[in-house]
Amino acid sequence: MDFFRTRTLAYLLGAVEFADNIRLNIVDGFFPFKPHNASSWSQLEGKTCIITGGNAGIGLATAEAFAKRGGKVVLACRSLVRGRRAAQAIAHKIGQSDKAHDIEVREVDLTSLESVRRFAKAFNKEDRRLDVLICNAGIMAPPERQQTVDGLEMQFQVNYLGHWLLAHELLSHQRSRFLSSSKSLNGSDRAHRGAESCSEQASSVNEKDENGTRLIFLSSMTHRAGKLDFSDLQLTHGYSGFKGYANSKLATLLAAKEFQHRFDRSLNRRMDVAVAVHPGLVDTKLAREWLTGADVMGSAAQPLVAPIARALAPWLLIAPDRAVESILYAATAPAEKIAGQYVAAGTVARPARMAEDLVIARELWDTSCKLTGTKPTL
């Protein structure tokens, strides 16, 4: 019953979005799509932005958009080779082939919590400011249930839990870094510098850092088909690839809610903002593989229907550049407009009711702490 509810809802929503994508693609045929280039996007200049899975699909297009606007991009990839290749492609595309090395490439494999911790530890050790963290990497609907080295269901960990841990570790450091820099300026330095110049400096640190970090989770409209059952989060019974995907995307929305809740209740003056984004149904490896795979049409029909789906894909799916608009909006819109919200089609949208349930968000947070052995510092 649950299985049919999940499928039917997802297909209905997908059909509506596919129809709209066909309309957009027809319009683009006459008037090629140009990014809106909102004036707020110029804010990205000089900002440091980590993008997981920045070597392909939506992550790659987002990295290019940030780099084009002068952002300092860090591609967090599971393959350094693919990451470096992407860095070169980005530099070439934005007309700065000689500056490919300015785009950092770092290794993180979300199937391993240890790898996530290593990544965060190395970045935190450098004690740098982090302006935007985009939790983008993802996989969709492996037909058979797979487990990570940590013994967890693959999509749950790659799409959700690995990102949750990454965000927790990086944001915790950013917030304590802010507190200690404020303290040192307000406290001991005062004795040396004289009260006036010190308060000037303290306020300049506060003003700058009040902007905090933008924490962006790539969710999906498929979250509406998700339902978290805490007695079997790892889907050991009745696994379906799509159910696992929908649940992981619902979890990212709940994570955005809970992170925001914790940022808001803290006395720390930083304006950290967590937001979840549905990028649209986008022409990437992930979407194409799903569209033409056995998950959609069943293994018997797949050989017949896959070529048709492949031919239709460019019409049914939007270009990654379009998806980037929603992500740039999430990265630059005023905090009060998007904090803890769900962004879809470039604007704030209403998610499923379960995604707004703070009790479930809290339970998921506590479960995430247990599963990762994390003592929460946010």
Ligand X SMILES: NC(=O)c1ccc[n+]([C@@H]2O[C@H](COP(=O)([O-])OP(=O)(O)OC[C@H]3O[C@@H](n4cnc5c(N)ncnc54)[C@H](OP(=O)(O)O)[C@@H]3O)[C@@H](O)[C@H]2O)c1
> Closer CB to ligand X, residue 213 or residue 284?
284
> Closer CB to ligand X, residue 269 or residue 350?
350
Q: Residue 245 Cβ, how far from ligand X at the closest point, in Å?
A: 7
Sign of CA dihedral 145, 151, 154, 160: positive
From residue 153 to residue 172, what is the string marking binding to ligand X with x (rule CB under 6 A)?
-----xx-------------
> Closer CB to ligand X, residue 167 or residue 198?
167
Tell whether residue 116 is a contact of ligand X (CB under 6 A): no
Q: Which of 44, 50, 58, 228 binds ligand X (CB under 6 A)?
A: 58
Q: Which of 136, 181, 326, 332 binds ligand X (CB under 6 A)?
A: 136
Verify whether residue 245 is a known catalytic residue.
yes
Sign of CA dihedral 173, 174, 175, 176: positive
Tell whether residue 138 is a contact of ligand X (CB under 6 A): yes
Q: Which of 47, 69, 78, 257 binds ligand X (CB under 6 A)?
A: 78
Which DSSP state fits 51? E
Q: Which of 111, 213, 292, 326 binds ligand X (CB under 6 A)?
A: 111
Q: Under rule CB under 6 A, how many of the chain's residues touch ligand X?
A: 31
Tell whether residue 285 is a contact of ligand X (CB under 6 A): yes
Q: Residue 288 Cβ, how far from ligand X at the closest point, in Å?
A: 8
From residue 235 to residue 274, what is the string marking binding to ligand X with x (rule CB under 6 A)?
----------------------------------------
CA 327 to chain centre: 9
Tell whether residue 224 is a contact of ligand X (CB under 6 A): no
Instruction: Categorise residue 280: left if φ over 0, alpha if ψ from -120 to 50, beta otherwise.
Output: left
First to last CA, the chain: 38
Q: Which of 160, 245, 329, 342 is catalytic?
A: 245
Long-range contact set of residues 310-317: C-beta below 8 Å, sequence gap at least 24: 313/283, 313/287, 313/288, 314/25, 314/283, 315/21, 315/22, 315/25, 316/18, 316/21, 316/22, 316/281, 316/291, 317/21, 317/281, 317/282, 317/283, 317/284, 317/287, 317/288, 317/291
CA-CA distances (angstroms) from residue 289 to 74, 205, 284, 305?
Answer: 27, 47, 8, 13
Tell whether residue 84 is a contact of ligand X (CB under 6 A): no
- Residues known to be catalytic: 245
Site residues, ligand X (CB under 6 A): 52-53, 55-59, 78-79, 82, 108-111, 136-140, 158-159, 218, 220, 278-279, 281-282, 284-287
